[in-house]
Structure 1
């Protein structure tokens, strides 16, 4: 008895959750969430850095060109300093301790290696206020035997802008009169005078002026907040793109698994018809040649 073969039935359509909720794709989802969380953390960090940069710009705009006040007004005690007082000009009179000058290593300027010169100023009150007198390039022969420019001798009146002292860097120690950072407590220990350890001064002017050419004066701080905002948005976009890429990958696997269903075949046929209706590069080239020949 002859039997007529019946066409095989099309497979049933696979629902999206049968793919997305498998162990493999849930693991990918977890990794994507971790990546996106890292992106959000990095974005927040860039937003915070932008806020810090804006605060610094605000201090420069409000303090840098202000009228000088006395050191005792700005720093009523030796070990305190308010961050909002950064860049305020102060005036102080005293005598430089030229025999106790220090240099701070690793201070590049305009892509040139150099050092900064610190000179303690013994004030009329008997306290020491550290003055950053400026920048010197590294020696051409690579040695560290700097001959530091002599500061003005005798009584001098200094106008300087306040900056907070710097912390020590682990693993980098002072050698002789060379410091790794502007670590004010260490300088106080070295010179043996009561010393302002909350802040130091970036030199603006000295009266009388020095006889020798002084170190190169510090530059005015930049008012550019940097690219932190664009970086923050980029990290947010990276996090969103990770989820978009995950959704696309799940959709692509779902399409492949449903390719033999009636719905999948109809979708592929429609895609082929649409592709066939579009002119090829050869068709476009022939049309351009026909137009040119008319």
Structure 2
């Protein structure tokens, strides 16, 4: 009855099922891994955002990169803005509009500085028109902001290139920016959330990061791939049972024919 399972057509089906099952297992495990990774990242970022502010020097210093575990930690730092070395960061849309981030070094009392992202401004009226950038406060300023690691092409998804207009960059690369400054720069930057004294006009604040659902979609996709395993096995069994049923229905019809056929 089950010898048909060894025919070429059925052997091909067996091979397909045996190849599909481990593939679905791998894809499910990969999605579950992404779920755990994103959930851990979401939890870490959320905890950093909600943590109490700490002095910048406790987490960052010139010549030392900001740790990934310290991303979005709220830090405080005091100093004086250096508008002469301010920069604009291209290709930074916000609220669905194209624009720039405004970077201004904040020189601290020890002669070092930290790059401060003071916020976002929209593009000018034309591609050749410089945007309107509110000046930073003068004198001593107390800054509060989110600590961010220096940007790279891999972390930002942007490709750096030369030939940009003067005073503009594509990446917030503290090390590269610091090469053109007369003081040492912290290996990271601060995303401004508050400052004292408050200026009369300021760039639009950068929104707080969206931590998302912590990889919820990856969990759903992982379950989906493993459900496909059950569907593949169930479909394979169903096809076999249907073939067996059809052959059993055909047996009574074949039996009289075989009985009435002349003996050799």
TM-score range, shorter chain: 0.7 to 0.9
How far is the alpha carbon of 1:228 from its aligned partner? 2.8
Q: For the residues of structure 1 that align with 2:254 and 2:102, how far apart are their CA atoms?
A: 76
1:202 aligns with 2:191: yes
How far is the alpha carbon of 1:62 from its aligned partner? 2.8
1:232 aligns with 2:188: no
Equivalent positions of 1:45-60 (< 5 A) are 45-60=30-45
Q: What's the secondary structure of 1:43's corresponding residue? A: helix
Are the aligned partners of 1:59 and 1:87 in contact in 2 as well (CA < 8 Å)? no
Q: TM-score, normalised by structure 1?
A: 0.70
Match of 1:191 in 2: 181
How far is the alpha carbon of 1:71 from its aligned partner? 1.4
- Total equivalences in the alignment: 248
How far is the alpha carbon of 1:33 from its aligned partner? 4.3
Aligned partner of 2:99 among 114, 139, 158: 114
Q: For the residues of structure 1 that align with 2:254 and 2:139, how far apart are their CA atoms?
A: 93
Equivalent positions of 1:206-225 (< 5 A) are 206-211=195-200, 213-225=201-213
Are the aligned partners of 2:65 and 2:150 in contact in 1 as well (CA < 8 Å)? no
Equivalent positions of 1:65-214 (< 5 A) are 65-76=50-61, 78-139=63-124, 141-143=126-128, 145-168=130-153, 169=157, 171-174=159-162, 175-176=164-165, 177-191=167-181, 193-197=183-187, 199-211=188-200, 213-214=201-202
How far is the alpha carbon of 1:30 from its aligned partner? 3.8
Q: Which runs of 5+ in 1 are unaligned?
A: 1-13, 266-294
How far is the alpha carbon of 1:101 from its aligned partner? 2.4
Are the aligned partners of 1:101 and 1:118 in contact in 2 as well (CA < 8 Å)? yes
Distance 1:155 1:236, change over 3 A: same
Match of 1:8 in 2: none
Match of 1:243 in 2: 233
Q: For the residues of structure 2 that align with 1:33 and 1:144, how far apart are their CA atoms?
A: 62
Q: Which has the larger radius of gyration?
A: 1
How far is the alpha carbon of 1:156 from its aligned partner? 1.8
Aligned partner of 1:63 among 48, 58, 63: 48
Are the aligned partners of 1:116 and 1:136 in contact in 2 as well (CA < 8 Å)? yes
Match of 1:287 in 2: none
RMSD: 3.2
Q: What's the secondary structure of 2:146's corresponding residue? A: strand
